[in-house]
């Protein structure tokens, strides 16, 4: 029997209590804790909408992203951003999460037809990003990371970079929405301590082609995030 705690009214919690509950879930059950959080509605990263910096980046045309091929969204949560990528860029998008509850919620959102373009090619799958392997002809043209990098232990960030590289084609793109950038160095995550330069070593072999503070952010994200686009060296 699971020892996971169940909280009956997560909506009544303040932001600090939500984070305490999340950290308690992960400390108790490092892998299954993410599903415990979803089951209990303790999901402070879930914006319940497409994130404004991602929307603005793609709609601006500032970067000529591919409009055919495949995309990956690890740690996709409920899937708003994944559905948006599939709908706007036309990419066959795989959205993966370690939580079956999150995947179930994402599939329900997709089936509702309330978000995204009709016929958007997006598949939600329960999967461990670090265990994914692909043949060459199925590798990704684009990966999008929002709060996945800060959710994993900092000790796995180099492994994250190796896996990003292994799963992508030469010339592929990576979008990193870096949040939150105001955590102290001694923070006990998740989310873990993050600074923009923390991506540099894991992404050796990639070139950063865009880096900016978003013009539009969620109210709770203003001044706490940056968005970057990386291109894999060919």
Q: What is the 3-state secondary structure (H, E, C) of the chain?
A: CCCCCCCCCHHHCCHHHHHHHHHHHHHHCCCCHHHHHHHCCCCCCCCCCCCHHHHHHHHHCCCCCCCCCEEEEECCCCCHHHHHHHHHHCCEEEEEECCHHHHHHHHHHHHHCCCCCCCCCEEEEECCHHHCCCCHHHCEEEEEEECHHHHCCHHHHHHHHHHHHHCEEEEEEEEEEECCCCCCCCCCCCCCCCCHHHHCCCCCCEEEEEEECCCCCCHHHCCCCEEEEEEECC
Q: Which of 74, 91, 176 is nearest to 126 (CA)?
A: 74
pLDDT of residue 66: 98
Q: How far is it, in rounded angstroms, from Cα 158 to Cα 213? A: 25
pLDDT of residue 1: 32
Tell which CATH classification among 3.30.379.10, 3.40.50.150, 3.20.20.70, 2.60.40.10 matches the domain 52-232: 3.40.50.150
pLDDT of residue 5: 41
pLDDT of residue 185: 94
Order across the sheet with 70-74: list the strands: 122-126, 92-97, 70-74, 140-146, 168-178, 226-232, 206-212
What are the boundaries of each domain within the chain?
Answer: 1-44, 52-232
pLDDT of residue 213: 98
Q: How far is it, in rounded angstroms, from Cα 8 to Cα 23? A: 17
pLDDT of residue 14: 62
pLDDT of residue 106: 96
Please identify every stretch of the chain with a pLDDT value under 70, giving residue numbers as ranges. Answer: 1-14
pLDDT of residue 13: 55
């Amino acid at each position: 029997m699971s020892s996971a705690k169940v909280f009956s009214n997560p909506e009544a919690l303040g932001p600090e209590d939500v984070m305490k509950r999340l950290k308690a879930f992960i400390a108790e059950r490092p892998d299954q804790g993410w599903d415990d959080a979803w089951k209990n509605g303790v999901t402070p990263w879930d914006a319940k909408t497409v994130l404004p910096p991602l929307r603005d980046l793609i709609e601006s045309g500032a970067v000529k992203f591919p409009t055919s091929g495949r995309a990956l969204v690890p740690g996709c949560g409920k899937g708003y951003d994944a559905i948006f990528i599939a709908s706007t860029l036309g990419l066959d998008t795989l959205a993966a999460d370690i939580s079956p509850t999150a995947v179930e919620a994402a599939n329900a959102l997709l089936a509702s037809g309330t978000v995204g373009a009709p016929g958007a090619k997006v598949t939600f799958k329960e999967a461990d990003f670090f265990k994914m392997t692909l043949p060459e002809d199925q590798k990704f043209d684009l990966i999008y990371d929002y709060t996945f990098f800060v959710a994993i232990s900092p000790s796995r960030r180099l492994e994250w970079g190796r896996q990003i590289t292994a799963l992508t084609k030469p010339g592929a793109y990576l979008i990193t929405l870096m949040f939150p950038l105001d955590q102290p160095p001694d923070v006990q995550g998740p989310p873990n301590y993050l600074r923009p330069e923390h991506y540099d070593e894991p992404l050796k072999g990639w070139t950063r082609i865009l880096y900016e503070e978003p013009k539009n952010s969620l109210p709770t994200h203003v001044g706490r995030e940056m968005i970057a686009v990386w291109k894999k060296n060919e």
